[in-house]
């Protein structure tokens, strides 16, 4: 087994272990719907205002594997998320604001409310 295979297996284990209940529904620009395991987080970050005040803002993020198993069809799918595509997590609809690959096969999708 190669190093890349080991990293891929580790990523799959982590995503599965921390999977959002109900999973993540990803709809691409061609209206293809994929039901995937993913980790959802609304990370708090400190933002500085012009006057020097600090405000904590939440940045919703979904972490997915680029190659994953569709939880409904059981088929392996490779996704290529783009800005403005739709993500549904726990019944809440979001649009992708930014896609950040981590270099190991995971994708961090920064989201905004629809």
pTM for this one? 0.83
What does the pLDDT read at residue 23? 85
Instruction: Kindly tell me the burial class for residue 11, based on how many C-beta atoms sit within 10 Å of its own C-beta (0-12, 13-18, 19 or more).
Output: buried
pLDDT at 51: 85
- pLDDT at 94 (0 to 100): 95
Residue 10 lies in domain = 3-113
Q: What is the CATH number of the domain that holds 82?
A: 2.40.10
- Residue for token pair 């995937």: 36
Residue 98 in this model has a pLDDT that exceeds 80:
yes
Predicted local distance difference test score (pLDDT) of residue 44 = 72
Separation between Cα atoms, residue 112 and residue 72, nearest integer Å:
26
- Given a cut of 90, whether residue 65 has pLDDT beyond it is yes
Average per-residue pLDDT for the chain: 91
- Contact by Cβ (8 Å): 106, 64: yes
Number of folded domains in the chain?
1
């Amino acid at each position: 087994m190669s190093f890349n295979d080991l990293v891929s297996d580790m990523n799959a284990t982590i995503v599965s272990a921390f999977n959002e209940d109900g999973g993540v529904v990803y709809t691409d620009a061609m209206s293809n719907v994929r039901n995937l395991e993913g980790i959802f987080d609304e990370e708090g970050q400190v933002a500085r205002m012009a006057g020097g005040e600090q405000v904590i803002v939440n940045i919703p993020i979904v972490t997915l594997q680029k190659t994953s198993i569709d939880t409904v069809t059981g088929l392996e799918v490779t996704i290529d998320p783009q800005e403005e595509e739709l993500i549904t997590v726990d019944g809440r609809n979001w649009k992708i604001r930014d896609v950040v690959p981590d270099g190991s096969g995971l994708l961090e999708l920064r989201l905004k409310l629809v």
